[in-house]
Every structure is written in structure tokens, then in C-alpha cells.
Amino acid sequence: MTNRFSLALHGGAGTILRSKMTPEKETAYRAGICDALAAGHTVLKKDGSAMDAVVATVCALENNPLFNAGRGAVFTSAGKQEMDAAVMDGATRKVGAVAGVFGPRNPICVARAVMDTTDHVFFTGDAALEIARQAGVPFEDASYFFTETRWQALQDTLRLRAQGTESNDPARRHGTVGAVARDMSGNLAVATSTGGMTAKAPGRIGDTPVIGAGTFADNESCAVSATGHGEVFIKYCAAHEISARMRFAGQSLADAARYVVMEDLAKNDGSGGLIAVDRHGNITMPMNSEGMYRGFVTEDGQLTSLIYADE
Ligand code: ASP
């Protein structure tokens, strides 16, 4: 059966360990997931495009300081915030991606501006910021993006590193936001945005803006948005691998996605997960981590938020 439209999102595999979760925090995360789903659902139910829906969903997550993208992004080892984002349109394979940007309120809108207003697909640095200005994307100053929680996570990570150890707390290491959708015309789209990994080296770029790794969409197969240990997702071309398994091996979306997450990634230090939708609107959300903030909305607008793997 084909759904008229479908929308799913993730808010990163860096979930707070169950032992450290409080009812207040859980309520806030679930509300953030539902608000973002509602933003995308509003677009899709009016016959809007999958691309508009995933960008609206990701903007809501970027604006929420709980998630590691836009406001509330993590810090590099040098104490700066460097953000990566990408969009892909499954109907046309049009792409827009940016890496290492700081200033635009919504990095995902800069990625979209790259797709809509340039002949190229991937920008970094000042050129990316100039595209954002030309497209009228609003900018914010450093105090808008700063959160004490992320700053403390950096201090803790640097302290552990100086002692020769690494944090095993996923909330300290990970986070990303993303959305996948199928619209009423049957088109697929994806948007993914991240601050990257806490204490990453300055200039490091993860899987999020690398098309085929953390972000991919093709109407013939699926749209995928990933979160996790970006270097491994890049090495295994995680998002495109799912599409390839569907096209060449005839696998279902769920089987293809599960194999990539549980075999390719899990067995090679690639902790994390992903969300994906196929051309019939089926959704899958596998992870090999303790949890992944995630959710989906049904056509009638019923919102579901999930956090831990066993939910
Ligand atoms: N995948 C992101 C990156 O490597 C981080 C994450 O999702 O945890 O930049």
C-alpha cells in the first residue's frame, strides 16, 4: 500500500543515557520532536512538496537548543561552532550542501540556497556565507548559538582527552537533526543538519553534508538521513548503500537499512542510526545505539515521538 504522504525526523543518536534522563528533559525532547513534525505535516497536508516539508521540519529542530544543529550546536576542540547541512531532492537529484558555516540562523536554508541559486552543489567558508546573505537567510550572533550544556560537554571531553580517555556518554559525543518525506506527488526529499561531534578538530567535516553518506534521496529507491560517527558513515557510503541494496539486490527499505546499520556500521565502530522513507511512503528508523531521538506523523496528523531503541 502506498501512503499519500509520509514524514519522519531524527534529533540525533546522542540520546541522554537512560540513567541520566529526567521526566522534565524527556518531556522537553518529546515536545521538540512533535513541534518539528507538526511543522512538516502542515506543509505536506496542503499538498506542499517533500522538500519544503523536510526544510520546515529541520528549521524547527535547528531553532531548538536541545538538538545539535543551529542553536545549541556542539563546539570544536578550539571552542568554536562549525555547522554542516545538506538537502537532496529525490525527483531531480538536485543537491545543496554546506560545511563549516557559522552565523546563519538555519544552516539548512543555506544548503537549500546552494541548491536553488547556484550551479554547484557544495560550498564552505565565506562563499557559503555570501550565498546565504544573497538569499536573505537571517544571521545571528554567537550568543544566540551558545548553550552552557554544550560548552560543559566540551570541557568534560577535553579533560577526559587530556587523561587519555574518551567519553562513553553518547549525549556528549553525538547529535544531528534530519527529516525525510514523501509528498502527495510521490516525490522524496531529505534534509540533514549538524554541529558535528563534540571536540572535533577545527575544519573537520562529517557525513551530514556528504551526499551518499549522511544524506541521500532518489525517487526510485529511498530518502535517508543519518546520525552517528560520521567518519564511518562516510567510509561505508551509508545512505547510498541502502539505495543500492534496494535497486540491485531487490531488498526492502527495512532490510537494506537494517543491514547497513547493524552490519556495515555497527561492526566497524560506526555507532548511530538513520531514518529512511521509500517511494511507497514506508518508514524505517534503525539504530545500533542506545537510542535516537526520532518521530513520525501519520496523514491524519497523529504525532509519535520515540527516544530509546526498545520503544
Ligand atoms: N554524524 C554527525 C557527524 O559526524 C554527528 C552525529 O550525528 O552524531 O558530524
**Tell me, what's the pLDDT at 108?**
98
Measured in Å, residue 21 CA sits from the centre of ligand 1 at: 21
**Tell me, what's the pLDDT at 172?**
75
Q: What band does 218 get if pLDDT is binned at 50, 70 and 90? A: very high
For ligand 1, say whether the CB of 217 is within 6 Å of any of its atoms: no
Is 176 one of the catalytic residues? yes
CATH of the domain at 40: 3.60.20.30
For ligand 1, say whether the CB of 212 is within 6 Å of any of its atoms: no
Answer yes or no: is 1 within a domain.
no
- Rounded to whole angstroms, the maximal C-alpha distance in the chain is 55
Answer yes or no: is 125 within a domain.
yes
Measured in Å, residue 173 CA sits from the centre of ligand 1 at: 8
Name the strand (E) or helix (H) holding 227. strand 222-228
Q: By mean pLDDT, which of 103-112, 161-170, 204-213 is the weakest?
A: 161-170
For ligand 1, say whether the CB of 228 is within 6 Å of any of its atoms: yes
For ligand 1, say whether the CB of 11 is within 6 Å of any of its atoms: no
Answer yes or no: is 82 within a domain.
yes
Q: Cell numbers 561552532 label which residue?
A: 81
Query: What CA–CA distance (Å, rounded) separates 241 from 33?
Result: 27
For ligand 1, say whether the CB of 273 is within 6 Å of any of its atoms: no
Give tens-digit pLDDT for 230-247.
999 999 999 999 999 999
Which cell is 281 given? 511512503
* Contact status, residue 68 vs residue 12, Cβ threshold 8 Å: yes
* Contact status, residue 307 vs residue 285, Cβ threshold 8 Å: no
Over 70: is that where the pLDDT of 1 sits? no
CA dihedral 59, 286, 233, 220 (to 10 degrees): -80
Cβ-Cβ contacts under 8 Å for 300 (sequence gap 6 or more): none
% the chain with pLDDT above 70: 100
Cβ-Cβ contacts under 8 Å for 48 (sequence gap 6 or more): 183
Over 70: is that where the pLDDT of 112 sits? yes
Nearest-CA residue for atom 8 of ligand 1? 174
Measured in Å, residue 216 CA sits from the centre of ligand 1 at: 15
Cβ-Cβ contacts under 8 Å for 175 (sequence gap 6 or more): 11, 12, 13, 14, 67, 68, 69, 74, 194, 195, 227
Answer yes or no: is 204 within a domain.
yes
Domain count, the chain: 1
Give tens-digit pLDDT for 263-289.
999 999 999 999 999 999 999 999 999
Answer yes or no: is 288 within a domain.
yes
Determine the atom of ligand 1 nearest the C-alpha atom of 173.
Answer: 8
The single residue of 15, 76, 157, 176 carrying the catalytic annotation is 176
Give tens-digit pLDDT for 15-43.
888 888 999 999 999 999 999 999 999 99
**Residues of the domain holding 196:** 6-308
Answer yes or no: is 238 within a domain.
yes
Q: What band does 167 get if pLDDT is binned at 50, 70 and 90? A: confident
Which cell is 20 given? 541520566
Which cell is 134 given? 544573497
**Tell me, what's the pLDDT at 256?**
98
Determine the atom of ligand 1 nearest the C-alpha atom of 84.
Answer: 9
Determine the atom of ligand 1 nearest the C-alpha atom of 204.
Answer: 9
Cβ-Cβ contacts under 8 Å for 26 (sequence gap 6 or more): 307
Over 70: is that where the pLDDT of 144 sits? yes
For ligand 1, say whether the CB of 89 is within 6 Å of any of its atoms: no
Answer yes or no: is 13 within a domain.
yes
% the chain with pLDDT above 90: 91
The values of phi and psi at residue 27, to 5°, are -60, -40
Answer yes or no: is 259 within a domain.
yes
Short-list 16, 17, 11, 126, CA closest to 69 = 11
For ligand 1, say whether the CB of 14 is within 6 Å of any of its atoms: yes
CB neighbour class for 242 (10 Å; exposed up to 12, middle 13-18, buried from 19): buried
Look at residue 48 and give its three-state secondary structure: coil
Measured in Å, residue 215 CA sits from the centre of ligand 1 at: 12
For ligand 1, say whether the CB of 174 is within 6 Å of any of its atoms: yes
Nearest-CA residue for atom 9 of ligand 1? 196
